[in-house]
Protein backbone atom coordinates (compact mmCIF):
# COMPACT_ATOMS: atom_id res chain seq x y z
CA UNK A 1 0.00 0.00 0.00
CA UNK A 2 2.88 2.34 0.83
CA UNK A 3 4.35 1.65 -2.60
CA UNK A 4 1.03 2.60 -4.27
CA UNK A 5 0.85 5.87 -2.32
CA UNK A 6 4.48 6.60 -3.11
CA UNK A 7 3.90 5.80 -6.81
CA UNK A 8 0.72 7.90 -6.88
CA UNK A 9 2.65 10.81 -5.35
CA UNK A 10 5.36 10.51 -7.99
CA UNK A 11 2.76 10.37 -10.78
CA UNK A 12 0.90 13.36 -9.36
CA UNK A 13 4.15 15.31 -9.07
CA UNK A 14 5.08 14.41 -12.65
CA UNK A 15 1.65 15.48 -13.87
CA UNK A 16 1.91 18.84 -12.08
CA UNK A 17 5.41 19.35 -13.48
CA UNK A 18 4.12 18.62 -16.99
CA UNK A 19 1.25 21.09 -16.58
CA UNK A 20 3.52 23.83 -15.26
CA UNK A 21 5.99 23.19 -18.08
CA UNK A 22 3.22 23.48 -20.68
CA UNK A 23 1.97 26.74 -19.18
CA UNK A 24 5.49 28.14 -19.26
CA UNK A 25 5.90 27.04 -22.87
CA UNK A 26 2.67 28.83 -23.80
CA UNK A 27 3.75 31.93 -21.89
CA UNK A 28 7.11 31.89 -23.68
CA UNK A 29 5.41 31.48 -27.06
CA UNK A 30 3.03 34.35 -26.27
CA UNK A 31 5.94 36.57 -25.24
CA UNK A 32 7.76 35.76 -28.49
CA UNK A 33 4.60 36.57 -30.48
CA UNK A 34 4.21 39.90 -28.67
CA UNK A 35 7.85 40.80 -29.31
CA UNK A 36 7.54 39.82 -32.97
CA UNK A 37 4.38 41.90 -33.34
CA UNK A 38 6.08 44.89 -31.70
CA UNK A 39 9.09 44.53 -34.01
CA UNK A 40 6.92 44.47 -37.13
CA UNK A 41 6.76 47.57 -39.24
CA UNK A 42 3.53 49.53 -38.63
CA UNK A 43 0.92 49.21 -41.35
CA UNK A 44 0.37 51.87 -43.96
CA UNK A 45 -3.31 52.78 -44.14
CA UNK A 46 -5.05 54.10 -47.22
CA UNK A 47 -8.20 56.17 -46.85
CA UNK A 48 -10.20 56.19 -50.07
CA UNK A 49 -13.30 58.24 -50.84
CA UNK A 50 -15.46 57.37 -53.83
CA UNK A 51 -18.12 59.74 -55.10
CA UNK A 52 -20.61 57.72 -57.11
CA UNK A 53 -22.62 59.05 -60.03
CA UNK A 54 -26.24 59.79 -59.13
CA UNK A 55 -28.19 56.58 -58.59
CA UNK A 56 -25.08 54.36 -58.72
CA UNK A 57 -24.15 54.00 -55.03
CA UNK A 58 -26.13 50.77 -54.58
CA UNK A 59 -24.36 49.22 -57.58
CA UNK A 60 -21.01 50.37 -56.15
CA UNK A 61 -21.84 48.76 -52.80
CA UNK A 62 -22.79 45.53 -54.58
CA UNK A 63 -19.52 45.51 -56.52
CA UNK A 64 -17.49 45.95 -53.33
CA UNK A 65 -19.58 43.45 -51.37
CA UNK A 66 -19.55 40.75 -54.05
CA UNK A 67 -16.16 41.20 -55.73
CA UNK A 68 -13.83 44.08 -54.88
CA UNK A 69 -13.14 43.21 -51.25
CA UNK A 70 -12.14 39.64 -52.19
CA UNK A 71 -9.90 40.91 -54.97
CA UNK A 72 -8.24 43.38 -52.59
CA UNK A 73 -7.37 40.49 -50.25
CA UNK A 74 -6.15 38.42 -53.21
CA UNK A 75 -3.69 41.20 -54.04
CA UNK A 76 -2.42 41.74 -50.48
CA UNK A 77 -4.64 44.61 -49.40
CA UNK A 78 -6.29 44.19 -45.99
CA UNK A 79 -9.88 45.42 -45.71
CA UNK A 80 -10.25 47.49 -42.52
CA UNK A 81 -13.56 49.38 -42.59
CA UNK A 82 -16.20 50.74 -44.96
CA UNK A 83 -18.56 53.67 -44.33
CA UNK A 84 -21.24 55.75 -45.98
CA UNK A 85 -21.42 59.29 -44.59
CA UNK A 86 -24.80 60.37 -43.28
CA UNK A 87 -24.41 63.88 -44.71
CA UNK A 88 -22.87 63.16 -48.14
CA UNK A 89 -25.03 61.32 -50.63
CA UNK A 90 -23.42 59.06 -53.21
CA UNK A 91 -20.26 58.60 -51.14
CA UNK A 92 -18.36 55.50 -50.04
CA UNK A 93 -15.39 55.88 -47.71
CA UNK A 94 -13.12 52.99 -46.80
CA UNK A 95 -9.76 52.14 -45.29
CA UNK A 96 -7.44 49.38 -46.43
CA UNK A 97 -4.01 48.50 -45.06
CA UNK A 98 -0.72 47.70 -46.75
CA UNK A 99 2.65 46.55 -45.41
CA UNK A 100 4.31 49.67 -46.83
CA UNK A 101 4.15 52.06 -49.81
CA UNK A 102 5.97 49.69 -52.16
CA UNK A 103 3.55 46.90 -51.24
CA UNK A 104 0.62 49.27 -51.84
CA UNK A 105 1.89 50.17 -55.29
CA UNK A 106 2.47 46.51 -56.17
CA UNK A 107 -0.98 45.53 -54.86
CA UNK A 108 -2.75 48.22 -56.87
CA UNK A 109 -0.78 47.32 -59.99
CA UNK A 110 -1.77 43.67 -59.61
CA UNK A 111 -5.38 44.56 -58.84
CA UNK A 112 -6.00 46.83 -61.85
CA UNK A 113 -4.38 44.33 -64.23
CA UNK A 114 -6.25 41.30 -62.82
CA UNK A 115 -8.49 39.80 -65.54
CA UNK A 116 -11.15 39.04 -62.94
CA UNK A 117 -11.25 42.72 -61.89
CA UNK A 118 -11.43 43.86 -65.51
CA UNK A 119 -14.41 41.57 -66.08
CA UNK A 120 -16.16 42.71 -62.87
CA UNK A 121 -15.55 46.39 -63.69
CA UNK A 122 -16.89 46.00 -67.22
CA UNK A 123 -19.98 44.05 -66.15
CA UNK A 124 -20.80 46.43 -63.29
CA UNK A 125 -20.65 49.46 -65.60
CA UNK A 126 -22.87 48.19 -68.43
CA UNK A 127 -25.42 50.88 -67.58
CA UNK A 128 -22.82 53.60 -67.09
CA UNK A 129 -19.83 54.39 -64.92
CA UNK A 130 -20.34 53.99 -61.18
CA UNK A 131 -17.65 56.34 -59.87
CA UNK A 132 -17.34 60.04 -60.66
CA UNK A 133 -14.36 60.80 -58.39
CA UNK A 134 -11.77 58.90 -56.32
CA UNK A 135 -9.65 60.46 -53.58
CA UNK A 136 -6.84 58.59 -51.84
CA UNK A 137 -4.69 59.46 -48.82
CA UNK A 138 -1.94 57.26 -47.32
CA UNK A 139 -1.62 57.45 -43.54
CA UNK A 140 0.58 56.13 -40.73
CA UNK A 141 -0.67 55.74 -37.17
CA UNK A 142 0.62 58.19 -34.59
CA UNK A 143 2.63 56.90 -31.63
CA UNK A 144 -0.40 57.46 -29.36
CA UNK A 145 -2.97 55.82 -31.61
CA UNK A 146 -4.74 52.82 -30.04
CA UNK A 147 -4.68 51.11 -33.43
CA UNK A 148 -1.32 50.72 -35.11
Residues forming beta bridges with residue 113, ordered by sequence position? none
Q: Does residue 5 share a domain with residue 74?
A: no
> In terms of Cα–Cα distance, which of 134, 136, 125 is closest to 59?
125
Rounded Cα–Cα distance for residues 41 and 12 (Å): 46
Q: What is the pLDDT of residues 36-81, one digit of tens each?
A: 555 577 899 999 999 999 999 999 999 999 999 999 999 999 999 9
Q: Does residue 55 share a domain with residue 110?
A: yes
Q: Does residue 54 share a domain with residue 6?
A: no
pLDDT band at 25 (very low <50, low <70, confident <90, very high): very low
Q: What is the pLDDT of residue 36?
A: 52
Q: Does residue 111 share a domain with residue 99?
A: yes
With vertex at residue 94, the alpha carbon angle to CA 89 and CA 99, rounded to the nearest 5 degrees, is 165
Position 148 in a domain: no
Rounded Cα–Cα distance for residues 42 and 57 (Å): 32
Q: Does residue 56 share a domain with residue 20?
A: no
Rounded Cα–Cα distance for residues 117 and 113 (Å): 7
Q: Does residue 27 share a domain with residue 61?
A: no
* 68 vs 6 pLDDT, higher one: 68
Q: What is the pLDDT of residue 62?
A: 98
Helix (H, G, I), strand (E, B) or coil at 76: coil
pLDDT at 141 over 90: yes
Q: What is the pLDDT of residues 73-96, one digit of tens each?
A: 999 999 999 999 999 999 999 999
Position 23 in a domain: yes
Q: What is the pLDDT of residues 94-127, one digit of tens each?
A: 999 999 999 999 999 999 999 999 999 999 999 9
Cα dihedral 96, 112, 62, 81 in deg (nearest 10): 0
Helix (H, G, I), strand (E, B) or coil at 40: coil
* 135 vs 28 pLDDT, higher one: 135
Q: Does residue 52 share a domain with residue 9?
A: no
Q: Which domain holds residue 21?
A: 1-40
Average pLDDT, the chain: 84
Amino acid sequence: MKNRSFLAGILLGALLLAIVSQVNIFRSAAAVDEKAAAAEEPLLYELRTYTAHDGKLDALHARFRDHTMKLFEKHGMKNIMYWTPVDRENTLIYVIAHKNKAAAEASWKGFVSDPEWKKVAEESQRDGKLVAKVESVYMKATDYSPMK
